[in-house]
Amino acid sequence: MKVGMFFLRWSIGFGLSWWMGQLWGLAGLLWFRASVALLILGVSLEWLKMGWQGVGWTNRPVTMARVMRFAKQNPGRLWLGWGKVWGASELKRQVERGVLDDAGNQTTSAPFSLSTEQCDHLLVMGAPGSGKTQLFLWLSVQAIQRDEVLIFVDPKGGDTIPLTLRRAADQVGKICYVLRVGEPSHSVHLNVLGHVSQASELATRLCRLLPISEQQTIFTQFSWMALYRIVSGLLLLGHPLTFVGIRQHLLNQGDQLSREGVVLKGGEHPIVRGLKALARHDAVHYSKMVLSLVPLLEVLTSGRVGALLCEDATVPFVTLEQVVERRAVLYVGLGSLQDAQVARILGALVLGELSSWLGQRYRGGNHRAAKIQVMVDEAAEISGAAFIQLLNKGREAGLQMSLAVQTLADLEVALQGTAEARMMVGNAAHLLAFRSLDPESRRALIERGGSVRLRARSSGVSIRNSGFFGVRDRSDGVSLQRPWQEWPLLSEQGLSELKPLEYVGHFSGYGIVRGRISCLKVPRADSS
């Protein structure tokens, strides 16, 4: 619409100038030619300004250098494309026009940005292809430019995201670690057991990897007890914590650990007594009770996942603490399209290790040493207890999480409960929605936006016919009223008709915002 008005306005200007020059014979005068030249210059400058702001060119890519330049020049702001705050005055104009479903036509050419002073979590919803991944690329390159720690968990594991992160990290001289399940020989290996200080912590972390339907059964409780005693024995005797060692001692009921503990610590040590009781347990009953742990530990000690979680001299073996100390970038590609179960397990391990390390960091008093950005695309595929714990308590340790889901129903299925899904949504201070076809997801944003009281204009016409003793009397009436009515700031139809890369968000401290982003153009490897 703005592009059409642009051409109409300047076409009329040129037409009038040409007509006046021909009518009054001014075409040959120097001052008239200079005026026309200035007019052409004004057209060019306005057109360039529109192109710079992206007005009318919703599909025009924006360069990564431009997004990073904004972050460098505005270190306290987070650029979210172009948009404007949507309040009662804008809704009133819509109501008076009688149009309540044109959400995609309400964006503006002005850049929109948020303050980065507060660590507020962000939940992004949208249908496939609506713009979630592109938004995360915008957020990622700005975090890299601000010298923040970035951990990007990508369940799908494509090529676009790691390529973008590498290019952005190269621009500012940061280290970018890439871990991909499908390519263990070309990936860094990650130590997810580097910050275990208590046996109960690791036992809980491993039991949470079991299916949610099995986590409240007596079998899981027995498995937790067995893991607790074995990990306690490993810590007591000074053995390194590895999944291979845990699996080995679990299968032999901790017999080897109990024997070694008797020799080194004595048979009356509390941990040794627990190991001895575990070793004397009936073998048939024991094997049935820990049956659910066997396939889990098999996954963690063999195949591609086992290779990624163990130390190898040929590839870097890093911890999350090293990633934070170096203010590096860590990309974790889980490859859920190939094996969703393995992706869920590995993603939960990474988040569990992050939660454990953040707890130690917070207790140590240096929880503001470096801001950590965690971005999880398709978060429903790895949602669990560790996820909720990070959302609840990670903010105090300098953690900011950005999650992307397609619908709220995905979270309800993953967490097997509406209350748990609502808990994740409630922990996100910022809620952003691209085009969504799910009514529940749209209503969540509509409820967050709230409503306002407006005077709605209504008119009516009344016609009354009456007769008395055969005489007809006709009187007409016209009424105009402006009663107060409650109007929601957003409409479901408008949210379902957003174009790709257009969004409606509710941001803490700003209210409802309508905006859009552009595709991020990543430089090639051979470009400077």
Query: What's the confidence (pLDDT) of residue 152?
Result: 95
- The Cα 255–Cα 431 span in angstroms is 52
- The residue-averaged pLDDT of 431-444 equals 82
88-121 pLDDT, tens digit each: 666 666 666 655 554 444 556 688 898 887 668 8
Q: Is residue 245 part of a domain?
A: yes
Pair (377, 269) in one structural domain: no
Three-state secondary structure of 116-176: CCCCCCEEEECCCCCCHHHHHHHHHHHHHHCCCEEEEEECCCCCHHHHHHHHHHHHHCCCE
Residue 449's contacts (CB-CB under 8 Å, 6 or more residues apart) are: 488, 489, 490, 506, 511, 512
User: Tokens 């100390």 correspond to what residue?
Assistant: 325
Helix, strand counts (H, E) of the chain: 21, 19
Pair (350, 404) in one structural domain: yes
Pair (419, 352) in one structural domain: yes
Least confident span in 28-37, 160-169, 280-289? 28-37
Query: What's the confidence (pLDDT) of residue 528?
Result: 38
- The residue-averaged pLDDT of 381-397 equals 76
Q: Is residue 459 part of a domain?
A: no
Pair (188, 203) in one structural domain: no
Pair (344, 323) in one structural domain: yes
Pair (105, 88) in one structural domain: yes
Write down the mean pLDDT value for the chain: 79
Pair (415, 508) in one structural domain: yes
- The residue-averaged pLDDT of 228-248 equals 91
**Closest Cα to residue 201, out of 322, 332, 357?**
357
Element at 467 (helix H, strand E): strand 458-468
Confidence class of residue 34 from pLDDT cuts 50, 70 and 90? low
Pair (508, 413) in one structural domain: yes
Residue 397 zone, left/alpha/beta (φ > 0; ψ -120 to 50; rest): alpha
Output the pTM of the full model. Answer: 0.79
Pair (76, 113) in one structural domain: yes
- The residue-averaged pLDDT of 466-474 equals 50
Query: What's the confidence (pLDDT) of residue 334?
Result: 86
Pair (112, 40) in one structural domain: no
Q: Is residue 474 part of a domain?
A: no
Domain boundary among 36, 53, 70: 53
- The residue-averaged pLDDT of 417-438 equals 79
Q: Is residue 478 part of a domain?
A: no
Domain boundary among 35, 53, 71: 53
Query: What's the confidence (pLDDT) of residue 153?
Result: 92
Q: Is residue 292 part of a domain?
A: yes
* The pLDDT of residue 57 is above 50: no
Confidence class of residue 53 from pLDDT cuts 50, 70 and 90? very low
Q: Is 434 exposed, middle or buried (0-12, 13-18, 19+ CB in 10 A)?
A: buried
On whether the CB atoms of residues 367 and 186 are closer than 8 A, the answer is no
CA distances in angstroms from 83 to 57, 267, 411, listed in the order given: 14, 70, 28
Query: What's the confidence (pLDDT) of residue 51?
Result: 52
- The Cα 353–Cα 50 span in angstroms is 47
Between 406 and 366, the more confident residue is 406
Structural domains counted in the chain: 3
Q: What's the CA angle centered on 230, arms 227 and 236, to 5 degrees?
A: 135
Pair (107, 217) in one structural domain: no
Domain boundary among 16, 32, 53: 53
117-153 pLDDT, tens digit each: 766 889 898 888 888 999 999 999 999 999 999 999 9
* The pLDDT of residue 56 is above 70: no
Query: What's the confidence (pLDDT) of residue 249?
Result: 93
Give the residue ranges of DSSP H helices in 311-427. 320-325, 340-363, 385-393, 408-415, 418-426
Query: What's the confidence (pLDDT) of residue 17?
Result: 66
- The Cα 261–Cα 429 span in angstroms is 50
Between 437 and 355, the more confident residue is 355
* The pLDDT of residue 222 is above 90: yes
Share of the chain above pLDDT 90, in %: 24
* The pLDDT of residue 311 is above 80: no
User: Tokens 């850049």 correspond to what residue?
Assistant: 111
Beta-ladder partners of 401: 374
264-276 pLDDT, tens digit each: 988 889 999 999 9
User: Tokens 């090639």 correspond to what residue?
Assistant: 524
Q: What domain range is 373 assigned to?
A: 62-192+309-451+488-521
